[in-house]
A and B are shown apart, each in its own frame.
Chain A
Amino acid sequence: MSLVQALEVFKGRVMALNGDEAVAWAVKQSNVDVVAAYPITPQTIIVEKFSEFVADGEVHTEFVPVESEHSALSACVGAAAAGARVFTATASQGLALMWEILYVASGLRLPIVMAVVNRALSAPINIHCDHSDTMGARDSGWIQLYVEDSQEAYDTTIQAFKIAEHPDVLLPVMVNLDGFFLSHTLQNVNLLPDDVVKKFVGIRRPVKIYVPYLGREVPLALDGKTPITMGPLDLQDYYFEHKMHQVKAIENSRDVIMKVNEEYAELSGRSYGNGLVVPYGLDDAEVAIVVLGSAAGTVRYVIRRLRRRGVKIGMLRIRAFRPFPVNDVVKALKDVKVVCAMDRSLSFGALGGPLFNELRSAFYDEGSRPIILNYIYGLGGRDIPPSAVKVIVDELLNVAKTMEVKELVKYVGVRE
């Protein structure tokens, strides 16, 4: 970092914020035109905090306090289609209610940014953290970034606008932060100065596209004058091709996520691995834990202590679950003997959780591959203390020694 850049960072400030407030501050600084949202625990603080910014005239944003999450995302679709930079936030049941429009948002290639404060799904009703909500939406065509702490929630929200609006991407982005563990827990968060963020994200300028029936390039936005048709009926002869455009776009997003991570590091001095995965202690690791979200902090704490005693263990945190960083995962874990995927959600009737399935699939074509085990933990907000992680590590070390797997999928700390 140059001295000038260091001074820029210094001009920022440190605030004690919870994860929700950190997201609200990021949105405040990111030149967002429209926020449409509906309250749901544990997301509410984002919307409340942002409403204060609106009420105090600190942003130019139009805030639409809609009557449901379905309408929240529907309004975001309308606003983004009209050329606005758009943000919303939800959790759990709210995300479930948005489901239909998740696919519309990605299919219409609208760069909406949404914070999802991860929370278990009903029934039984539960307001606490797990990843069932967003894991269910993993095939909806959204980019999914999972953050570890409030600082990263702030940084990633800012980055998300840049990723979503990149001309090679044009996809909506979910920034996922763990309910209560992050949303309601205070942390010192380094905020960049307003002007630095505003310069980094710029203002949204809709991409231009060539429209054959107009015979010219026009901005891809409803401007009141240019007769573009968005969201037409698309049948057997074109639908598949349009889906392939989405495939290409989310593939493109890998490079963009990495590049934005680098650019942001130059600005702030903070980066998150290569943007897709964040390795820890993997260089000489014999066993490794793969994890998403805030549990990475607990896992890292346990690893740090065990490494002092010479245990060769590492961790790979998956930051981008969609697109899934197949190559990075293989590269990071190929020399490890035993890997465990820690899933904070279920895929009922499947062989293990979603992360486990992605990992196993990523390694299928590799000549040498680690034994891959699945530990499902923390559903409905159940804590994962260091002692529970230690138990997992002991089991992994035992498998590494014997090379024998007795149980492929295990459920952590569940009463019989």
Chain B
Amino acid sequence: MSFAINIKELAKKPPKLLPGHRLCAGCAAPVLVKLTLLASEGPTIVVNATGCLEVATTIFPYTSWAVPWIHNAFENAASTASGIDAAIKALRRRGAIKDERVNIIVFAGDGGTYDIGLQALSGAVERGHNFLYILYDNEAYMNTGIQRSGGTPLGAATTTSPAGKVIPGKLQQKKPIADIIVAHKAPYVATVTPAHWVDLMRKVKKALSIEGPKFIHALSPCPRGWRYDSDLSIEIAKLAVDTCYFPLWEYENGVWRLTDRSLVIARNPKLKKPITEFLKVQARFKHLLRPENAYVVKKLQDYIDAMWSDLIKRAGLK
């Protein structure tokens, strides 16, 4: 099956996330949503966990969503999607729904996925519901004011992991959330960024063509929380990939593949940039560049290198 992207055709499609929402300038979340919905065909229902995207796109009596949309609570987007999936199956069985298929797409942040929503997600994947879960990962609880989450990287300063006199930001590594979903034997798991948009749309199209639970981990740079100028989001997403901090890959029925820029880097390792390139443009890491915190940067670099070489092995490239 081809999942080619035709930009001329896409330009003709009406957007499904409309202007007027209150997301911050430079926020990557609406870019991810627009690209995702552009890549989806046919009837679609969106489930949104509590978070930036939800509060900024639906302030009553306004809505930016040109697709059916529901927000239930913070930790239960996956269980809400389970219920919708069950309803579609039952309603089809009794003849109330005629459509061949209805896409169910979840958008949830890192707080709603790594932390409070992990149980609901694990349950929904185990039960095999037919839905696509998109984690837009801005690496902290941005909606409540930049508190650390399981998705916050080592060393990042947040309002609950501040860089203090004795503690240099977050002390723990970022949880490998996509690997956790792979461990559930989900039929399709992938990573994307808003910068590598052809890769993103191809993966969304592929995911929606597969029956069962699909998971896409999207990096979502956040100017407010990561502390950089709002015109740099796409550049920073590129750096995340170029440093192998956030490699692009997909996992399909037991097979791992590197994609897009990450495949290029795997074939030409010289292109891999040091993590400092990613760190130095974001003020959440600025304390790490002081000499006394060099050990934290090394720890982060070692972690990234180990994960990257493991990924290359899984993809059968070495």
Contact = CB atoms under 8 A, between A and B. Distances in A.
Contacts of B94: 31, 33, 60, 203
B69 A229 contact: yes
Given A33-B94, A78-B83, A232-B63, A66 B58 contact: no
B24 interface: no
A70 B76 contact: yes
Interface stretch (A81-89, A140-148, A275-283, A349-357): A81-89
Contacts of A233: 54-55, 58-60
A74 B60 contact: no
Q: Determine which residue in A36, A60, A65, A86 has the highest number of CB atoms from chain B within 10 A of its CB, and name it.
A: A60
A241 to B, nearest CB: 10
B68 A74 contact: no
A101 interface: yes
B25 interface: no
A388 interface: no
A235 B59 contact: yes
Given A33-B94, A62-B86, A74 B119 contact: no
Contact of A78 (B55, B82, B102): B82
Contact of A66 (B73, B82, B97): B82
Given A82-B84, A84-B86, A84-B87, A231 B72 contact: yes
Interface stretch (A127-135, A220-228, A246-254, A406-414): A220-228
A201 to B, nearest CB: 14
Contact of B83 (A60, A79, A104, A224): A79
Interface string A30-65: 010110100000000000000000000000111011
B270 to A, nearest CB: 46
A213 interface: yes
A360 B95 CA distance: 51
B60 A232 contact: yes
B126 interface: yes
Q: Determine which residue in B45, B47, B66, B80 has the highest number of CB atoms from chain A within 10 A of its CB, and name it.
A: B80
A238 interface: yes
A120 B126 CA distance: 31
Range, interface on chain B? 35 or more
Nearest to B47: A78
B40 to A, nearest CB: 11
A62 B69 contact: no
B123 interface: yes
A263 interface: no
B60 A83 contact: no
A66 B124 CA distance: 8
Nearest to A82: B87
Contacts of B86: 33-34, 36, 62, 64, 75, 78-79, 84
B63 A100 contact: no
Interface residues of A, number: 48
B99 interface: yes
A62 B89 CA distance: 7
A74 to B, nearest CB: 4
Nearest to A60: B93
Contacts of A84: 83, 86-87, 90-91
A101 B96 CA distance: 27
Contacts of B60: 232-235, 238
A82 B91 contact: yes
B4 to A, nearest CB: 25
A72 B86 CA distance: 12
B71 A232 contact: yes
A227 B79 contact: no
A224 B91 contact: no
B94 to A, nearest CB: 5
A68 interface: yes
A76 interface: yes
B43 A224 contact: yes
B120 interface: yes
B76 A101 contact: yes
A227 B127 contact: no
A60 B97 CA distance: 14
A93 interface: no
Interface string B46-65: 01000000110011110101
Contact of B68 (A62, A80, A223): A223
Given A66-B127, A74-B72, A234-B60, 4 more contacts: A74-B80, A82-B83, A224-B42, A231-B58
29 contacts: A36-B86, A60-B93, A61-B90, A64-B86, A65-B127, A66-B79, A71-B119, A71-B123, A75-B83, A78-B81, A79-B86, A79-B90, A81-B70, A82-B45, A84-B83, A84-B86, A84-B87, A104-B72, A212-B61, A213-B63, A222-B45, A223-B97, A224-B102, A227-B66, A227-B67, A227-B69, A228-B68, A231-B72, A233-B54
